[in-house]
């Protein structure tokens, strides 16, 4: 299992995926609750690696990861928000009149941080070790 974290000042995206890419957990959590969430997920899943986005707030998140007794690997976070928006609309196609508008002109109605965490893990899995 691989845990991805999209760090943010107020909220973080967290996702747990298998090596095959199956999603076992995916949620946006408050940054203040991140250490507790990580401990619970590490106890629930056999986490092989924690994948952390290298965005501007990754240092604070890395401290919470270490406090949870886990180690992490940094992954490039470049363009993940745009990818996550496209992924959101793939998973949740617009309905009604919204389907007539290009999704590139629409903003997802909920945070996409958990999708970014998924993308970070997928990037790690695609990178030759």
Indicate which CATH number applies to the domain containing 44. 3.30.420.140
pLDDT reported for residue 129: 64
Long-range contacts of 79-86 (CB under 8 A, 24+ apart): 80/6, 80/53, 80/116, 80/119, 80/120, 81/112, 81/116, 83/116, 83/119, 84/112, 84/113, 84/115, 84/116, 84/118, 84/119, 85/112
pLDDT reported for residue 28: 97
For the chain, the domain total comes to 1
Mean pLDDT of the chain: 93
For 89, the domain range is 2-126
Model pLDDT for residues 90-117, shown as the tens digit of each residue = 999 999 999 999 999 999 999 999 999 9
* pLDDT band for position 69 (cuts 50, 70, 90): confident
């Amino acid at each position: 299992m691989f845990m991805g974290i999209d760090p943010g000042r107020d909220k973080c995206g967290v996702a747990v995926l298998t090596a095959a890419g199956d999603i076992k957990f995916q949620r946006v959590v408050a940054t203040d609750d991140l250490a507790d969430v990580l401990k619970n997920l590490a106890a629930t899943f056999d986490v092989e690696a924690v994948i952390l986005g290298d965005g501007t707030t990754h240092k604070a998140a890395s401290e919470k990861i270490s406090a949870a007794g886990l180690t992490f690997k940094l992954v490039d976070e470049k363009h993940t928000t745009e990818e996550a928006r496209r992924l959101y609309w793939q998973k949740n196609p617009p309905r009604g009149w919204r389907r007539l508008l290009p999704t590139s002109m629409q903003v997802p109605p909920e945070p996409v941080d958990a999708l970014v965490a998924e993308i970070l893990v997928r990037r790690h899995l695609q990178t030759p070790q």
